């Protein structure tokens, strides 16, 4: 079963060696039916006898009709060579280029090396990269070792193709992808990290989290930053199967456990914030609990504040909710209520915050929001309200840029 490795927060293939700070970018959102490049190949085969009509020529003359030399009774490597003039210069219409690439993918079902030769000869720049990547992916489905050998023989220094191919192999055969990444590491230590990450991306895409964890934890030459790689796995796994991801993360050594648990919880909160809020109640007071609550409530309240009452009701019913670790929830309810112009609720929840600094920040945010529609009322409250001690009033004024002159 394949999973979609998206890009919220997915990990770009162009990550530089040793750069892992943005690993929480990507998410696996939902199971996906098998398809993608395989569907492209099937569509291309179904269109084998389809001629490309109305192809615009460079000289502006009437469109020339005819096939692309692929998929007809004269198709094949030799026939395509005769059509070398059908290149990116002549195929100026995007639809024609798309059709040509689809036909190359169809040809790759029987002659992948020939299809790749034509893509490299007849296409340029981004369209060539697109075609070569698709053709290699199609070849990987049938014979990953042969596809990799061709790549090493014909494009030995092209890390873009190598990384994409390692990702495709990683989807189907994690161990093989990792072994090939090790080959890259031995030949080019500078490209080792990116090769391993690419192979791991394929595993994550396909939901092979346990394989990725096993391979990351091995004695791998040229691999560094294992904690950050595990954090990435946790981030993706957390949105797909949080129970398994949490169970795994809790077995990690203390040095990496909190960071990986945090990544699991963050992804889980994006999918089911109430469940994360409930889970946070089982955690001991500390950074992880505070982070889990903050992530969950930020998502749960919603950008429009539509769930404020639901969150407030949850907090009132939560066991132990009076302690300071729930202050981030109070802060979010207060500031979101101010955005809804519900000043009574906003001020009450802001004043319920136990931490003095966070309470002052909440009151400053509430009064600033209030000023947007009633500046006089907001300033009167700031200057004269008996709900604030003189020390708190001074702290709020300082956060708002100082007292009114």
**Mean pLDDT confidence for 50-56:** 30
Is 33's pLDDT higher than 60?
Answer: no
The predicted structure's pLDDT at residue 53: 31
Lowest-pLDDT range, 39-53, 111-125, 173-187, 229-243? Answer: 39-53
| Res 334: pLDDT | 94
pLDDT digits (tens, 9 = 90+) for 309-325: 999 999 988 866 677 78
Q: Is the pLDDT of residue 43 over 60?
A: no
Per-residue pLDDT band for 68 (boundaries 50, 70, 90) equals very low
Return the pLDDT at 66. 34
Percent of the chain scored above 90 by pLDDT?
48
Greatest mean pLDDT among 70-74, 90-94, 112-116 lies in 112-116
Lowest mean per-residue pLDDT among 9-18, 74-83, 207-216, 232-241 = 9-18
Q: What is the structure's pLDDT at 90?
A: 54
Crossing angle of the two packed helices 209-216 and 174-187, in degrees rounded to 10: 30
Residue that wins the pLDDT comparison between 324 and 41? 324
**pTM of the entire predicted model:** 0.67
């Amino acid at each position: 079963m394949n999973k979609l490795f998206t890009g919220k927060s997915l990990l770009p293939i162009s990550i530089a060696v040793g750069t892992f700070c943005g690993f929480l970018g990507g998410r696996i959102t939902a199971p996906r039916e098998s398809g993608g490049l395989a569907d492209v190949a099937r569509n291309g085969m179904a269109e084998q006898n389809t001629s490309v009509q109305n192809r615009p020529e460079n000289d502006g003359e009437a469109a020339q009709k005819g096939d692309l030399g692929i998929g007809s009774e004269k198709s094949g490597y030799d026939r395509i060579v005769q059509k070398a003039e059908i290149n990116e210069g002549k195929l100026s219409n995007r639809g024609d280029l798309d059709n040509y690439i689809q036909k190359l993918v169809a040809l790759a079902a029987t002659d992948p090396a020939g299809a790749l030769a034509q893509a490299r000869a007849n296409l340029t720049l981004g369209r060539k990269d697109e075609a070569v990547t698709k053709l290699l992916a199609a070849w990987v489905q049938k014979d990953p070792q042969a596809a990799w050998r061709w790549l090493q023989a014909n494009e030995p220094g092209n890390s873009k193709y190598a990384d994409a191919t390692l990702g495709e192999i990683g989807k189907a055969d994690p161990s093989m992808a990792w072994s090939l990444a090790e080959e890259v590491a031995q030949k080019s230590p500078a490209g080792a990290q990116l090769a391993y990450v690419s192979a791991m991306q394929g595993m994550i895409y396909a939901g092979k989290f346990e394989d990725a964890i096993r391979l990351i934890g091995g004695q791998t030459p040229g691999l560094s930053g294992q904690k950050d790689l595990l954090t990435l796995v946790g981030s993706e796994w957390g949105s797909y199967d949080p129970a398994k991801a949490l169970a795994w993360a809790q077995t990690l050594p203390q040095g990496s456990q909190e960071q990986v648990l945090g990544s699991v919880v963050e992804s889980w909160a994006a999918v089911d914030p109430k469940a994360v809020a409930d889970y946070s109640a089982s955690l001991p007071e500390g950074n992880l609990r505070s982070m889990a609550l903050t992530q969950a409530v930020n998502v749960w309240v919603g950008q429009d504040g539509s769930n404020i009452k639901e969150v407030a009701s949850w907090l009132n019913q939560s066991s132990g909710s009076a302690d300071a670790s729930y202050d981030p929830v109070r802060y979010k309810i207060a500031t979101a209520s101010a955005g809804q112009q519900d000043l009574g609720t906003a001020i009450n929840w802001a004043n319920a915050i136990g931490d003095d600094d966070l309470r002052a920040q909440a009151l400053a945010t509430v009064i600033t929001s209030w000023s947007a529609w009633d500046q006089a009322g907001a300033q009167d409250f700031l200057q004269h309200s008996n709900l604030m001690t003189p020390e708190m009033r001074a702290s709020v004024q300082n956060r708002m840029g100082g007292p009114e002159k």
